[in-house]
């Protein structure tokens, strides 16, 4: 039987501000180049969501206005999404989507936008935006150290619960809040991060990690994916990492 992953992209019409479709293109091509069927579906505002139909979810970022428009609908899907992740479904949430996976986002006026509590964090709007190139060191699999290079642009400062696991340690740039030296939030196969750029083209190892995790749920074990020629990808990562080292933001 041909390998297959079903991807559910949440609110692509509303949350797409930082070229989120680049992340989808990378997942799709890297699956196709390996002969894996990539079944891409969108999940829009007011559309029903049933457990068990997707292997991987994606949610991107939007302007404040668009995030406020979709937040109540996302809350109505929260129970299904939490259950899915508990069952081993993979999830990538970037920027605004990352914030909404936490418990809440509190804006400058003190008003709270509810999140879905899928990841153990909350976000509070700060005075200054955190904008610039970022470089992280990650160890998503024990003993396998990797770097992620991206760009961040957020006013929200995200604080993880004490026992929560970040995506990585900040080598250059602000990260979650510009204070504690960590970036992102990770629980099992669910990854939330501020890094765009978009994230996956210049960090193909993470795309492959997500694809492998999504396949593992169907196959019962994590498959070995074929190597792909990643010359452009490696060079782009080096340039991006160099930018973060030379001009990444910090308070």
Name the site residues for other proteins (rule: CB under 8 A).
13-14, 16-19, 21-22, 25-26, 29, 63-66, 69, 129, 131-133, 151, 153, 196-198, 201-202, 229, 231-233, 235-236, 239-240, 243, 247
Closer to other proteins by Cβ: residue 22 or 120: 22
185-187, strands of its sheet edge to edge:
37-43, 4-10, 56-59, 90-94, 190-193, 185-187
User: Is the peptide bond prior to 198 cis by the omega test (within 30 degrees of 0)?
Assistant: yes
Query: Smallest distance, Å, CB 82 to other proteins?
Result: 26
Listed in order, strand segments (DSSP E) in the chain are 4-10, 37-43, 56-59, 90-94, 104-106, 112-114, 121-141, 144-160, 168-172, 182-183, 185-187, 190-193
Which residue among the candidates 95, 121, 138, 154 is catalytic per the annotation? 95
Closer to other proteins by Cβ: residue 84 or 173: 173
Say if CB 116 and CB 101 are below 8 A apart.
yes
196 is catalytic: yes
Query: Smallest distance, Å, CB 215 to other proteins?
Result: 20
Query: Smallest distance, Å, CB 18 to other proteins?
Result: 5
Query: Smallest distance, Å, CB 9 to other proteins?
Result: 13
95 is catalytic: yes
Which residue among the candidates 54, 121, 154, 196 is catalytic per the annotation? 196
CA-to-CA dists, residue 246 to 105, 131, 154, 179, angstroms: 31, 14, 20, 19
DSSP state for residue 224 in the 8-state scheme: P
Q: Is the dihedral of CA 82, 108, 181, 162 positive or negative?
A: negative
Closer to other proteins by Cβ: residue 159 or 249: 249
- Residue numbers annotated as active site: 95, 196
């Amino acid at each position: 039987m041909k390998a297959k992953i079903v991807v559910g992209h949440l609110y692509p019409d509303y949350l797409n501000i930082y070229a989120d479709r680049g992340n989808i293109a990378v997942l799709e091509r890297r699956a196709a180049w390996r002969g894996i069927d990539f079944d891409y579906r969108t999940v829009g505002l007011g559309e029903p969501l049933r457990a068990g139909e997707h292997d991987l979810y994606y949610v991107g970022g939007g302007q404040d206005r668009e995030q406020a428009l979709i937040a109540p609908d996302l809350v109505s899907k929260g129970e299904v999404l939490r259950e899915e992740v508990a069952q081993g479904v993979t999830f990538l949430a970037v920027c605004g989507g990352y914030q909404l996976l936490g418990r809440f986002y509190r804006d400058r006026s003190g008003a709270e936008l509810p999140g879905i509590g899928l990841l153990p964090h909350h976000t509070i709007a700060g005075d200054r935006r955190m904008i610039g190139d970022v470089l992280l060191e990650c160890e998503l699999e024990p003993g396998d150290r990797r770097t992620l290079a991206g760009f961040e642009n957020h006013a929200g400062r995200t604080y993880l619960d004490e026992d929560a696991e970040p995506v990585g340690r900040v080598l250059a740039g602000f990260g979650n809040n510009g204070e504690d030296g960590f970036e992102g939030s990770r629980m099992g196969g669910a990854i939330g991060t501020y890094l765009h750029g978009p994230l996956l083209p210049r960090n193909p190892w993470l795309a492959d990690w997500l694809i492998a995790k999504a396949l593992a749920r169907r196959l019962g074990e994590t498959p070995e994916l074929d190597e792909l020629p990643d010359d452009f990808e490696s060079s782009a990562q080096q340039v991006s990492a160099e930018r973060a080292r030379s001009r990444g933001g910090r308070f």
